[in-house]
């Protein structure tokens, strides 16, 4: 089994409640959605996976895609000190579109005692289900249709969150000043229907390195979420501010 991977690097997590944790990032190629604020670029543009060999120095080598599980294990172990990282972040794109590959990779990571942190758009519950016992933390998006431009995914998100709630999960909702209040409230209701203790992160859209959310709107959304959920935080994309990958 092989997978198309865009890049691998060691950096700090820049989103959500694990902000600042050192992670190895494996960024998978491709996504089943097409959000209007996507910052990962179009799939299929990279026939090679780039690997930052000296973290933070922006020196990269390239490895031909697709990569085997063995390629990934050897590359990460050979370039990064696994023991000094909080976890491996599987990100994208959407990692779960290459679920068969994850089915081989995750047992290898668990065998080595490495925590698995999955960043996902929360739409492919069928693919998550067989893997959930091997994932330590799920960072799941709920896409507001008006903000993402993806179309409604409410049923898919609900199914996904039920599966993800079998391990540690938090939900992230990307918003800007034009985001629909009714869509936001629907997302909050969806989370509360599964478990009101699931943390919610309100993440402002980043445009030109700045947050696209006014102070008033951020506090308004947080207050709305806190009416139904126990842990609601407003957290911007910190890696942008830190100039981290």
Residues that bind ligand SF4 (CB under 6 A): 31, 33-35, 38, 40, 92-94, 121
Shortest spacing between CB 1 and ligand SF4, in angstroms: 22
Nearest residue (CB) to ligand SF4, 114 versus 140: 140
Kindly report the number of other CB atoms within 10 A of residue 106's CB atom: 20
Give dist(CA 228, CA 101) in Å, integer: 37
Shortest spacing between CB 193 and ligand SF4, in angstroms: 22
Shortest spacing between CB 38 and ligand SF4, in angstroms: 3
Give dist(CA 241, CA 215) in Å, integer: 18
Nearest residue (CB) to ligand SF4, 41 versus 130: 41
CA separation, residue 202 to residues 5, 28, 29, 135 (Å): 28, 24, 25, 23
What's the DSSP call for residue 83? G
* Cβ partners under 8 Å of residue 112, min gap 6: 73, 82
28 forms beta bridges with 5
Give dist(CA 144, CA 153) in Å, integer: 8
Shortest spacing between CB 184 and ligand SF4, in angstroms: 18
Output the six-digit token pair for 2: 């092989």
Shortest spacing between CB 30 and ligand SF4, in angstroms: 9
Give dist(CA 201, CA 15) in Å, integer: 9
Nearest residue (CB) to ligand SF4, 49 versus 114: 49
Shortest spacing between CB 85 and ligand SF4, in angstroms: 23
Tokens 């959407």 -> residue:
94
Nearest residue (CB) to ligand SF4, 75 versus 237: 237
Nearest residue (CB) to ligand SF4, 33 versus 142: 33
Output the six-digit token pair for 109: 């990571």
Nearest residue (CB) to ligand SF4, 38 versus 132: 38
């Amino acid at each position: 089994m092989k997978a198309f991977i865009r890049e691998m690097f060691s950096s700090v997590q820049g989103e959500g409640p694990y902000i600042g944790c050192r992670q190895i990032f494996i960024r998978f190629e491709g996504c089943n959605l097409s959000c209007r604020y996507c910052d990962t670029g179009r799939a299929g543009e990279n026939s090679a996976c780039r690997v930052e060999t000296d973290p933070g120095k922006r020196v990269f080598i390239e490895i031909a895609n697709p990569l085997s599980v063995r390629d990934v294990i050897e590359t990460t172990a050979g370039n990064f000190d696994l023991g000094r990282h909080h976890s491996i972040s599987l990100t994208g794109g959407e990692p779960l579109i290459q679920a068969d590959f994850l089915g081989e990779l995750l047992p290898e990571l668990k065998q080595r005692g490495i925590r698995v942190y999955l960043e996902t758009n929360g739409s492919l519950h069928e693919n998550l289900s067989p893997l959930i016992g091997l994932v330590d933390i799920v960072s799941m998006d709920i896409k507001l249709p008006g903000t993402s431009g993806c179309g409604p995914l409410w049923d898919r998100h609900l199914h996904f969150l039920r599966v993800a709630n079998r391990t540690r999960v938090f939900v992230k909702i990307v918003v800007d000043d034009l985001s629909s209040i009714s869509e936001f409230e629907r997302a909050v209701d969806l989370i509360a229907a599964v478990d009101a203790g699931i943390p919610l992160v309100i993440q402002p859209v980043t445009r030109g390195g700045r947050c696209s959310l006014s102070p008033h709107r951020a506090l308004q959304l947080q207050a709305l979420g806190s009416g139904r959920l126990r842990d609601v935080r407003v957290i911007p994309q910190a890696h942008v501010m830190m100039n981290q990958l």
